[in-house]
Structure 1
Amino acid sequence: MGSGISKARRGLLYISYNGKVQKFMFDRKATSRDIQEQLAISCGLTRLSNVILKCRGDVIAISPSMPNNTPQEPYTLEQAGYNVSANDIIASTVKEIGKQFRQAFMVEETKREVYNRVASIESRVEKDGKRLMEMEKYKLDLVELRDAIYNKQTNTLDYNRLRPAITLPNHFYCPSTEQESLISMARDIPAYNKYVLTNETKEALKTPQFDVWQWEPNEMLILLEEMYFELGLVDELDIHPATLKRFLLRVQENYRNNPFHNFRHCFCVTQMMYVLIHGCRLQEVLSKRDICVLLTACICHDLDHPGFNNTYQINSRSELAVRYNDMSPLENHHCAVSFKILSSPECNIFANLTPEEFKEVRGDMIILILATDMARHAEILDAFKQKLDNFDYSSEDHLNTLKMILIKACDISNECRPIQVSEGWVECLMEEYFHQSDQEKKECLPVAPFMDRDRVTKPTAQIGFIKYVLLPLFEALNKLYPEVEFIALESLKQALNHYERMKDFDENKKKLFAGPVMSKSGRDWYSEKQMVDEGGQ
């Protein structure tokens, strides 16, 4: 192994002590005292030994600028006695200062303890008062809920009316409205570890085969926490574990119960980023701070999503579209809610960064979350493709483009998972799309064909999306990271084949059942037989 000192800074001496010649290397940037201590230690003496160097009887001053010599003319090292008086004075002085500091801190600790006790009592009194108010509020909520699900026709409570997509009010977070309570701490973290992850779970978490449907929201919080610890982000950014727990809990509370854009989707996107970090060894080219920003942006990228996309916001002239001038209104809103959560000291996982570092982290997170707007898909993908042939990891522009492509890939990565995992997400997305298109029809707004329940089918929607959006994106990423072939492309091709077979089956089924209506010829024996079998006229 090397000495760790560059050639320009390395000094080399040959020293003779007790009749033996040995080689001594030192750093020319070190102090004279450091070099003297190293010389003493290298010859088996104590660090505080006073040593001198002689050459042909002349004393040589020990300093970083000492000239190198040869084995034929070594310097002679001699011990000139042991002097501890100065060190004894320093030691006694430090000891006295330490004693005074301890006394001062004990006073501060006592003050802090008294203050904490008083604050605790005040908090309990305040909570008791709020609890009484909340009980009255819950009574009113229960009455409203009962009225909402009451079916007058059958005189019963119809629980099917509690569809997740429509139970929450149609509001957004806005600093000027009462909805700021969405960000408040509705509940605190438990005082004990509720879950313990096995090694098998930790390893499975690094693969695209991880089945997200088998985990409850509270379990997903623990899995997200594990990602921060396993990647070394907690130590690197000096994140307090309780702060991380509170941050994740606040994020979970600020995702709505939409069919698709919900907390489980947030977890899926983050878990796929975790897969890419490990599978493509991104730690080798990105700093831990960049890794943390990527992971945190994934977690926050759809905060408080209302279940209606940007097109609806702009066409309906919603509050968000007006506020953000029709420019990525949802993504700007997700950013605003993210930093509103981080503005709370008990949730700020970046609290121990310097103001300049936090400014850079904030800028990076905004860039990444805004990149998830699909309206910018072609722009970002084209910029990435142009940089692929000469990708420069030392260029900030190149790295920003890479990070934008990574979060975009993770955001739309459901089809990179096994069919039995990904197909559930297709159903959820179509339910959210159909809910929006129904609302657009009611308000006489334009309806996108791929959202119209009367025009779109699952296989046709998926085939187009995989062919023209997913495959070009992941194939471009595969040129920079060949591991993407195994992580994503294989599953994407299988998914494409699956939906093409489904489309063929649906078309054959249509032809089979459309034939009897279109023709009465003798060839359509199926028509006559089917109508008789089914009791048709």
Structure 2
Amino acid sequence: MATRTIHFTVNGRPEQAEFPVDCPAQDVKDLFRSAAEAGPHDILKLYNPKGNIINISPRLEANDPNTSYKLEVVAADCNSEPLGVGLAVALGFDLSAMEKRLQALEKKIMTEAGEAPAVVYEMKKQVDSFREKLESVEHLSWLGLFKELSGCTHKPSPFYHKRTLHKTPDECEHVNNKFLHMSSLEVSEEVRQYLKTPTFDNWQWEDAEIMVLLQVMYTDLDFVATFNIEQDVLQLFLYEVYRRYNNIPFHNFKHCFCVTQMMYGLIWLTDLRSKMDSIDLLTMLTSAVCHDLDHTGYNNAYQINARTELALRYNDISPLENHHCAVAFEILEKTESNIFRNLTMEQYKRIREGIIKCILATDMTRHNEILNKFKAILPVFDFSNKEHRDTLMMILIKVSDISNEARPMEVAEPWLDCLLQEFYNQSDMEKLEGLPVTPFMDRDKVTKPSSQTGFIRFVLFPLYMELANLFPCLEQHIIDPVRKALDYYTEMEKALEREKHSRAQSDSTAKSKDTPHTTAHTTPNTPHAASTSNTAKSKDTPHTTAHTTPNTPHAARTSNTAKSKDTPHTTAHTTPNTPHAASTSNTAESKDTPHTTAHTTPKTPLAASTSNTAESKDTPHTTAHTTPNTPHTASTSNTAESQTDAGPDVSKTAPHKT
């Protein structure tokens, strides 16, 4: 059986361990634990000759006495005599006594409660998990150890509306100090691999940590070594970038990181390192870092309509994107933050040209132009063709810039909340300043799902599908999540429509309640009289009757009743002996109006009487009469939207005209 021999020291004492190459990991750890005379709760750390912490596992590389590893007990049980006595002297109390007291309390809890509280088990579980993580990672990394890299939970959206637009000097200094302190830490391999995936959850990481991860990207793509980028220059460049992103809901430093992280992931997923040279990759990553520098939260349409300084400076041509480029090269013009300062003039010129092309490509007004150009070259795409590569670089930064829906929903949805907050802020400002309101930003017209369904169908899908045609491996990484997002927001939109319809029905039912018995009569002996009663939008109308009474020669009588509900005893009469009289009663939105009457006096040949009333609710005994014996008199009574008129027999009568 093949074995492996490991030489190491414990407290300066040389030791040697031998185990089979297929030995279980736990057996190897127990072997080293025995050599260190450590207890079951002690934590062991093994260092290689360079001083780096390495994992205790069967995969340890065999060595010789000259390259011995160093084994240390970095956390020990307080009952161990040397440690307990030393701490007791240093701290001024007896740790052994405290340990016994804690054990007694634990026994008391077990005795009284029958079992330890759930919180105790949860704490023990967390401690065991942390111990296991400490013993399994190769490097002691604060970033790698304290982050939960799976099982994402929904994070609240960070809104910035209560903060100043620009970061304060104190805020920047605080973040920079944390960044510099953490930048010397090794990032665990688990985090490095996670950083290459579209599922990366940005909400777990603070700004200083994000700067560390950006530094890792430049390092892992070999830019630091290939282009001789000094660490302090890279750190100052990242700090200046952080400082120039503003405190706004969406286009902030976290968005910069998300776009850069997606670009970084696409480079690895599509194996672009074997297809494009390092200068193009450096151009794309730096473009992603700088693509929204100094964004103020108002898009190009606002800049142009409001005639802002940016719109005037750049003649209404992509004012924001031109500004982002200018700020980027303003940072790069400073020697101390110029990560390109060791490049040749030709290399710098090429990178500058590429960054400008990439950032200007993020202007969505150019979306169709760039996509159509890519579709045209796709059947004959050639990585050795500079024009083809330039177009691909523009497509990749566009995909990265609008890639939130390709992430897990618990990561993507808070970003949508942030985006809508920024959109609503702009539309509110446009209304306030009397500017044209951008339709997809209007809080009175746009809902969360409606903002996404069309965008996914007509913008994201066509763009992503074309990129996946060139790189089929992206189907599962970005196409499938976007399909799920479309289904999610489509269902949400349908649910909102159902709720809206249900609410409208409830309001309609409540509005037309308790209005029964609507009747329209044409009384006897009315030659050549036309009487029309139109009642609209009435529902559930019991006992609604239209009568033409006896002895009414040449009388036309029409009663149109629709959707009237519970309308009691509403009557329209044309009284006897009124030749050639036309009476029309139209009921319009009259509410709670009892005993309202309009009269035209007796014996009115050729008299026209019109009473217009619509959508009457709770209107008992409302009557329109044409009375006898009034020659050539025209009387018009229009009653609309009368609401709860006090007292019976409140009448509105037109003046007499002869």
Q: Same fold (TM over 0.5)?
A: yes
CA separation of 1:300 and 1:185: change in aligned 2, threshold 3 A: farther
Structure-to-structure mapping, 1:416-455, within 5 angstroms: 416-455=406-445
Amino acid corresponding to residue 309 of structure 1 in structure 2? N
Structure 1 residue matching 2:233: 3-state secondary structure? helix
* Aligned residue in 2 for 1:168: 164
Whether 2:204 is the aligned partner of 1:208: answer: no
Which residues of 2 match residues 239-318 of structure 1 at below 5 A? 239-318=229-308
Q: Aligned residue for 2:357?
A: 367
CA contact (8 A) 1:350 1:358 kept: yes
User: Could you tell me how far apart the structure 2 residues matched to 1:448 and 1:454 are?
Assistant: 12
Q: Is the 8 A contact 1:246 1:347 kept in 2?
A: yes
Give the Å deviation of 1:186. 10
Deviations 1:355-386 (A, max 9, x none): 12111111110000000000100100000000
Structure 2 match to 1:393: 383
How far has the Cα of 1:282 moved from its partner? 0.9
1:349 maps onto 2:300 in alignment = no
Task: For residue 193 of structure 1, report the CA deviation from its aligned partner.
Answer: 3.9
Q: 5+ unaligned residues in a row in structure 2: which ranges?
A: 1-157, 513-538, 542-564, 567-658
Return the offset for 1:517.
Answer: 2.1
Provide the secondary structure at the position in 1 that maps to 2:451.
helix
The match for 1:378 is: 368
| Aligned residue number for residue 227 of structure 2 | 237
Q: Name 1:217's counterpart in structure 2.
A: 207
Aligned residues of 2:159 and 2:249 also touching (Cα < 8 A): no
What is the aligned partner in structure 1 of residue 546 from structure 2?
none
Q: 1:379 to 1:391 in 2, by over 3 A?
A: same
Cα shift at 1:310? 0.5
Q: In structure 2, the residue corresponding to 1:190 is in which secondary structure? A: helix
SS at match of 1:389: helix
In structure 1, distance between residues paired with 2:160 and 2:395:
31
Residue 339 of structure 1 pairs with residue 335 of structure 2: no
The sequence identity of aligned pairs, in percent, is: 47
Q: In structure 2, which of residues 458, 482, 485 is the aligned counterpart of residue 495 of structure 1?
A: 485
The one of 443, 450, 456 aligned to 2:446: 456
1:320 aligns with 2:314: no
Tell me, in whole angstroms, the C-alpha distance in 2 between the residues paired with 1:379 and 1:355: 31
> Contact between 2:260 and 2:289, CA under 8 Å: does it hold in 1?
yes
**3-state SS in 1 of match to 2:472:** coil
Letter matched to residue 160 of structure 2: P
Q: Which residue of 2 aligns with 1:474?
A: 464
Q: Secondary structure at the match of 2:382?
A: coil
**Separation in 1 of the partners of 2:476 and 2:306?**
43
Alpha-carbon offset, residue 404 of structure 1 = 0.2
Q: Does the aligned pair in 2 maintain the 1:256–1:304 contact within 8 Å? A: yes
Preserved contact between residue 261 and residue 307 of structure 1 (Cα < 8 Å): yes
Aligned letter for 2:309? Answer: E
Query: What is the rounded CA distance, in whole Å, between the counterparts of 2:336 and 2:460 in structure 1?
Result: 39
Q: Is the 8 A contact 2:358 2:397 kept in 1?
A: yes
Is the 1:303–1:337 Cα contact (8 Å) retained in structure 2?
yes
Is the 1:185–1:250 Cα contact (8 Å) retained in structure 2?
A: no
- Partners of 1:472 and 1:371 lie apart in 2 by 17
Distance 2:481 2:182 in 1: 39
**Which residues of structure 1 form unaligned runs of 5+?**
1-161, 172-178, 529-537
Q: Give the conservation status (yes or no) of the 8 Å contact 2:284–2:397.
A: yes
Name the CA shift for 1:229/1:194 in 2 (closer, same or farther; >3 Å). closer
- C-alpha RMSD of matched pairs (Å): 2.6
The TM-score normalised by the length of structure 2 is: 0.52
Bigger CA radius of gyration: 2
Letter in 2 for 1:292: L
Q: Tell me: CA distance 1:192–1:255, structure 2 relative to 1, closer, same or farther (3 Å).
A: closer
Say if 1:192 and 1:422 are closer, same or farther in 2 by CA, change over 3 A.
Answer: closer
Q: Structure 1 residues 376, 183: CA separation in 2 closer, same or farther (over 3 Å shift)?
A: farther
* Greater share of helix: 1
The residue that corresponds to 2:610 in the other structure is none
Kept in 2: contact 1:195–1:219 (CA 8 A): no
Q: Answer whether contact 2:165 2:247 (CA < 8 A) is retained.
A: no
Give the SS at the match of 2:362.
coil
2:30 corresponds to? none
Q: 1:143-168 CA deviation, whole Å, 9 max, x = no partner?
A: xxxxxxxxxxxxxxxxxxx9723643
Asked which structure has the greater RCO (Cα within 8 Å, sep 6+), the reply is 1
CA shift, 1:191, in A, is 6.3
Q: C-alpha displacement at 1:196, in angstroms? A: 3.4
CA gap of 1:163–1:227, structure 2 versus 1, over 3 A, is closer
Aligned length: 356
Name the aligned partner's letter for residue 457 of structure 2. Answer: K
Gap change, CA 1:195 and 1:438, over 3 Å in 2: farther
Per the alignment, residue 186 of structure 2 pairs with 196
Residue number among 360, 384, 403 corresponding to 2:393 in the alignment: 403
- Structure 1 residues 192 and 488: CA distance shift in structure 2, 3 A: closer
Distance 1:277 1:260 in 2: 24
AA aligned to 1:372 is T
Distance 1:452 1:191 in 2: 44
Shift of 1:484: 1.4
Shift of 1:289: 1.2
Secondary structure class of the residue paired with 1:483: helix
* CA shift for structure 1 position 420: 0.7
Q: Which has the higher strand share?
A: 2
Assess, with a 3 A threshold, how the Cα gap between structure 1 residues 516 and 190 changes in structure 2: closer, same or farther.
closer
The amino acid across from 2:327 in the alignment is V
Deviations 1:375-404 (A, max 9, x none): 100100000000001101111111100000
Give the conservation status (yes or no) of the 8 Å contact 1:183–1:254: no
Assess if the C-alpha contact under 8 Å between 1:208 and 1:275 holds in 2.
yes
Provide the rounded CA distance (Å) in 1 between the counterparts of 2:485 and 2:234.
36
Deviation at 1:518, TM superposition (A): 2.7
